[in-house]
């Protein structure tokens, strides 16, 4: 067994009739049992990458392995090990939750004797048991998403691909969807590969994040790494009196202090990591007998990292309207 759940090299995709590369030399390794987020502006190539990794479309160039399978030559074996929840609607709304799960279990070729137990387990896992016989068109957006995930998990996949799993849901429903995904990965050891418009979700739930822009991975790392790579953190101190030259010099000499600017009773100090630097800055001021009246810390956010690497500002509403419109059309 290789250590990577996903191992992609020099992947390119040009859709027929198009000159622009949808993927332009993607290199990506995702460790097993990790929750991995892919972020990028609309049209960056997230869905294309996910469609290749789930064997739905073939790339124009490059190699891609998922689990221990070559995505192109071992597609039929790989498909048994993966779960996939597309960006679009993937359940029928005019039948019940149970009936959807039954259809999926048949599509996946699950033996009749095992179906009931697996459906029951999936319903419990996604907290839908009490609604199992209700028509899906009576469900909330969050319940529909949980049902779609339940359908994808019925085969107990080793890896699950989620394309915008919580798009358009309210914060409460998003939280619940994530609780269920996280507990599934903890219990099963599965890997999750997801795309999202919500930076806070990538920040909170992803062990690692890649940013894709115009078909290229432009940055990768954990959320702290990405944030720190944007720039220094800033500590703004409000003092009772302006700093004298000696106290300023003493602050500048501190190992953690990169730069310092004063403006009356306000001092701005730039550091790499405020949580490390703050205590020595405060000690230094105490020893100079300077009273601190306020402290504010500004840190680069994941949005800042997105803006730096994707070259466009992050807009959480981008894409959401489109998906909402599609879902509303289906649900009515």
Ligand X SMILES: Nc1ncnc2c1ncn2[C@@H]1O[C@H](COP(=O)(O)OP(=O)(O)O)[C@@H](O)[C@H]1O
Contact 176, 142 (CB under 8 A): yes
DSSP category for residue 96: B
Query: Number of residues in contact with ligand X, rule: CB under 6 A?
Result: 12
SS3 327: helix
316 binds ligand X (CB under 6 A): no
Q: Does 15 bind ligand X (CB under 6 A)?
A: yes
**Cα-flanking dihedrals φ and ψ of residue 88, to 5°?**
-80, 175
Q: Which stretch binds Mg ion (CB under 5 A): 47-55, 184-192, 224-232, 307-315?
A: 47-55
Which DSSP state fits 129? G
Give the containing element (helix H, strand E) for 193. strand 191-195
Q: How far apart are CA 24 and CA 44, in angstroms?
A: 10
Q: Residue 104 or 194: which CB sits closer to Mg ion?
A: 194
Residue 47 vs 54, nearer CB to Mg ion = 47
- Residue whose CB is nearest to Mg ion in the complex, by number: 47
Site for ligand X in 30-49 (CB under 6 A): 40, 42-48
Tell me if 162 contacts ligand X by CB under 6 A: no
The residue among 42 and 279 lying less far from ligand X, judged by its C-beta, is: 42
For the chain, helix, strand, coil in percent to 5 are 40, 25, 35
Binding partner of residue 18 among ligand X, Mg ion, none, CB cut-off 5 to 8 Å per kind: ligand X
Choice between 83 and 300, CB closer to Mg ion: 83
* Residue 211 sits in the site that holds ligand X (CB under 6 A): no
Token pair in block for residue 286? 């105490």
- Distance in Å from the first CA to the final CA of the chain: 46
d(CA 27, CA 39): 15
25 binds ligand X (CB under 6 A): no
Distance CA(48)–CA(12), nearest Å, equals: 10
Q: How far is residue 50's CA from residue 56's CA, in Å, rounded to a whole number? A: 9
Contact status: 165 vs ligand X (CB under 6 A): no
Shortest distance (Å) from residue 234 CB to Mg ion? 35
Q: Is 47 in the site for Mg ion (CB under 5 A)?
A: yes
Say how many residues touch Mg ion, by CB under 5 A. 2
User: Which CB atom, from 201 or from 234, has the smaller least distance to ligand X?
Assistant: 201
CB 103 within 8 A of CB 150: no
Chain centroid to Cα 277, Å, comes to 30
Least Å distance, CB 194 to Mg ion, is 11
Interaction of residue 125 with ligand X, rule CB under 6 A: no
Q: Which is nearer to Mg ion, 14 or 95 (CB)?
A: 14
The piece of 11-19, 45-53, 169-177, 225-233 that touches Mg ion (CB under 5 A) is 45-53
- How would you class 228 by CB atoms within 10 Å of its CB: exposed for 0-12, middle for 13-18, buried for 19 or more? middle
When CB distances are held under 5 to 8 angstroms depending on the partner's kind, the choice from ligand X, Mg ion, none that residue 45 binds is ligand X
Q: Which two tokens stand for residue 40?
A: 């990028």
User: Pick from Mg ion, ligand X, none: which does 76 bind, CB < 5 to 8 A by kind?
Assistant: none
Q: In whole angstroms, what is the distance from residue 208 CA to residue 223 CA?
A: 7
Contacts with Mg ion by CB under 5 A lie at: 46-47
Binding-site ranges for ligand X (CB under 6 A): 15, 18, 20, 22, 40, 42-48
């Amino acid at each position: 067994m290789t250590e990577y759940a996903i191992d992609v090299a020099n992947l390119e995709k040009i859709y027929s009739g198009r000159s622009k590369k949808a993927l332009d030399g993607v290199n990506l390794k995702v460790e097993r049992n990790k929750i991995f987020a892919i972020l990028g502006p609309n049209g960056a190539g997230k869905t294309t990458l996910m469609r290749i990794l789930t064997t739905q479309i073939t790339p124009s160039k490059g190699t891609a392995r998922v689990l221990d399978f070559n995505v192109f030559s071992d597609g039929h074996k790989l498909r048994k090990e993966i779960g996939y929840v597309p960006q679009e609607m993937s359940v029928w709304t005019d039948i019940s939750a149970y009936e959807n799960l039954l259809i999926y279990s048949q599509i996946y070729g699950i033996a009749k004797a095992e179906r009931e137990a697996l459906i029951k387990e999936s319903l419990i896992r996604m907290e839908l048991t009490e609604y199992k016989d209700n028509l899906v068109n009576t469900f909330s957006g969050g319940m529909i998403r949980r049902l779609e995930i339940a359908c994808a998990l019925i085969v107990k996949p080793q890896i699950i691909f989620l394309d915008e799993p919580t798009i358009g849901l309210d914060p409460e429903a998003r939280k619940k969807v994530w609780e269920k995904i996280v507990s599934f990965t903890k219990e099963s050891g599965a890997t999750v590969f997801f795309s999202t418009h919500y930076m806070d979700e990538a920040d909170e739930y992803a062990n690692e994040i890649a940013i894709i822009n115009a078909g290229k991975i432009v940055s990768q790392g954990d959320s702290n790494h990405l944030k720190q790579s944007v720039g220094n953190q800033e500590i703004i101190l409000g003092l009772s009196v302006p700093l004298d030259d000696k106290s300023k010099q003493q602050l500048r000499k501190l190992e953690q202090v990169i730069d310092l600017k004063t403006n009356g009773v306000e001092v701005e100090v730039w550091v790499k990591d405020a949580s490390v630097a703050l205590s020595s800055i405060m000690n230094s001021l105490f020893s100079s007998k300077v009273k601190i009246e306020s402290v504010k810390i500004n840190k680069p956010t994941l949005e800042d990292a997105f803006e730096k690497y994707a070259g466009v500002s992050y807009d959480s509403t981008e894409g959401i309207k489109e998906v909402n419109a599609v879902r509303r059309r289906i649900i009515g």
